Amino acid sequence: MLLGMGDTFMLGSYSDYAVGAVGVVNQLMNMVFLLFGIVTTGTSVLCSRYLGMKEHQNVKEIIGVSLVFNMVFSSIMSALLFFYAPELIDMMGLRPELRDYAISYMRIVGSFAWVQALSLTVSAILRSLQRPKFPMVAIFVVNIVNIIGNYMLIFGHGPFPALGVEGAAISTVFSRLISLTIVFICLKKIVVKDLHLSDALPFRWDKLKEVLNIGLPGAGEMISYDLSQITVTYFINLISNEALIARTYLINIVLVGYLFTFAVSQSCTIMVGFLVGEERVNAAHKLCLYCSKRAIQVSVTMGIIIACACPWIIEIFTDNPIIISIVVTTVWIDIILEIGRALNMIVIGALRAAGDYVFPVAFGAISVWGVATGMSWVWGIYCGLGLAGIWMAFSADENIRGWVMLHRWNRKFREGTLKIK
């Protein structure tokens, strides 16, 4: 979070147009990173499983296959992002004053997408092997390096020229290279010292099949959601440059509000999985409801605090009165959105932990495209409510999905089907 907020804050001092352009590129890059996450998710689950079974050779083979596959796949994606950057940006319909910024940023960051793919994979492996502190140290170092790099390269301090958006992109790539170096050294020198190329080659297609069988279903919902967000970003671009820039600022501001929910949802998912596995269904049910209640309370409280402080917070990023007005208005709607987001994060995680994979993905796709995307067009574009109308659509989607998932969770408990098959 700090990495993205640092880029936004420092680019905001350089140009609002740069912030809007980088926000659009990051939306596209997030979609690419989700594709890398298909392998990352499966790798994490299988490493944990084989670790528990004390099958060390299988752990090494899963690691080797995942790294080789993601390296090849991400290298192809990096080449595509570099050579087809103008075409991808033009698909979003960016105006000339944002287009050049976006193409420059995408070509630099996109051509090194393979770095982020490997970094995400190795970090997930370390967490699954019960070494979460190593990725945490890496990201701490990266934040410091990125802030220093942005300061020197965006504004031209020290021996470097002022490179603007290109400077931010170079700083981001350099920071990610450092992160990859740190986590890979930790993996090879500390955690799995006997990891060799022979564990990956000849390539084990059977191991890749295991990884994809787990990773593909888990990534389905997130890919659908991110495609919807890319479509809505296109809608926002139709409104105005100011609306597009305001969206980037708003996302960075409200991120703080659901950090607690994000953390609790991960813990709740793990604990519900253990409890259901031990057939302590009543405890699992109560835990999910308790976490949901607390997450809503904290999220709404944080949302109100952020909304009240927003007029002062947004002035840190920009002095454009139109952008400030859009953000200050829309942030109040986000309070309602956080109720649904809290329910979705907690309850969907619990349903997955209890073996219910299909329904959250299927209903999520219907709601995301039917409500979030469809009503964004109706309220934001057709009715002329702008970004506020689009946030209303997001709020409706999150709350519909959240309460439907809660109803399913309660119904499965009452019917006695809350168990891993």
Residue 184 near residue 124 (C-beta atoms within 8 A) = no
Look at residue 287 in the predicted model and tell me its pLDDT.
Answer: 93
Provide mean pLDDT across the span 185-196: 76
Among 146, 138, 161, smallest CA distance to 109 is for: 146
Q: Residue 118: how many CB atoms within 10 A of its CB?
A: 21
pLDDT at 196: 64
Calculate the average pLDDT of the chain.
Answer: 84
Of 403 and 159, the one with more pLDDT: 403
Q: pLDDT, tens digit, for every residue of 254-308?
A: 888 888 888 888 778 777 876 776 778 888 899 999 999 999 999 999 999 999 9
**What pLDDT shows up at residue 217?**
66
Residue 202, preceding peptide bond in cis (omega within 30° of 0): yes
Cα Rg for the chain, rounded, in angstroms?
A: 22
Q: What was the pLDDT predicted at 63? A: 81
Cβ partners under 8 Å of residue 290, min gap 6: none
C-alpha distances (whole Å) from 52 to each of 128, 188, 279, 393 are 10, 20, 20, 44
Side chain identity at residue 308, one-letter code: C
Residue 218 has pLDDT above 70, yes or no: no
- Tell me whether residue 282 is exposed, middle or buried, using C-beta atoms within 10 angstroms of its C-beta: 0 to 12, 13 to 18, 19 or more: exposed
Please tell me the pTM assigned to this model.
Answer: 0.72
For residues 216-242, give the mean pLDDT.
81
pLDDT band for position 197 (cuts 50, 70, 90): low
Give CA–CA dist 121/33, Å, rounded. 11
Lowest mean pLDDT among 70-84, 212-226, 346-360, 394-408: 212-226
Phi, psi (deg, nearest 5) at residue 279: 60, 30
Note the pLDDT tens digit of each residue in 360-377: 888 988 999 999 999 999
Separation between Cα atoms, residue 10 and residue 4, nearest integer Å: 10
Q: Which residue has the tokens 């499983």?
A: 49
The pLDDT value given to residue 130? 75
**Does the pLDDT of residue 399 top 80, yes or no?**
yes
For position 36, what pLDDT does the model report?
Answer: 78
d(CA 257, CA 260): 7
Largest CA distance in the chain: 68
The SS3 call for residue 179 is helix
> Averaged over 196-217, what is the pLDDT?
69
| Model pLDDT for residues 33-85, shown as the tens digit of each residue | 877 777 777 777 677 667 666 777 777 777 878 888 888 889 999 999 999 98
* pLDDT tens per residue across span 166-189: 898 899 899 999 999 999 888 888
Confidence of residue 336 (pLDDT cuts 50, 70, 90): very high
Let me know: does 285 contact 408? Beta carbons within 8 Å. Answer: no
Measured distance CA(412)–CA(407) in Å, rounded: 9
d(CA 99, CA 76): 24
Reading the block at residue 103, the tokens are: 């193409």
2-6, 244-248, 360-364: segment of lowest average pLDDT: 2-6
- CA 404 to centroid of chain Cα atoms: 23
Burial of 82 (0-12, 13-18, 19+ CB in 10 A): middle
Residue by residue, DSSP assigns 160-197 as S---THHHHHHHHHHHHHHHHHHHHHHIIIII-TT--G
* Residue-level pLDDT at 126: 86
Separation CA 353–CA 351 (nearest Å): 5
Burial 143-180 (b: 16+ CB within 10 A, else e): bebbbebbbbbbbeeeeeeebbbbbbbbbbbbbbbbbb
**In the chain, what percentage of residues exceed pLDDT 70?**
92
Q: Which residues, other chains included, contact 269 with Cβ-Cβ below 8 Å and sequence gap of 6+?
A: 349, 350, 352, 353
pLDDT given at position 198: 62
pLDDT in tens, 92-119: 777 788 888 889 999 999 999 999 889 8
For residue 215, pLDDT over 80 is answered with: no
Q: Is residue 111 within 8 Å of 81, Cβ to Cβ? A: yes
pLDDT band at 315 (very low <50, low <70, confident <90, very high): confident
Q: Rounded mean pLDDT of 2-13?
A: 74
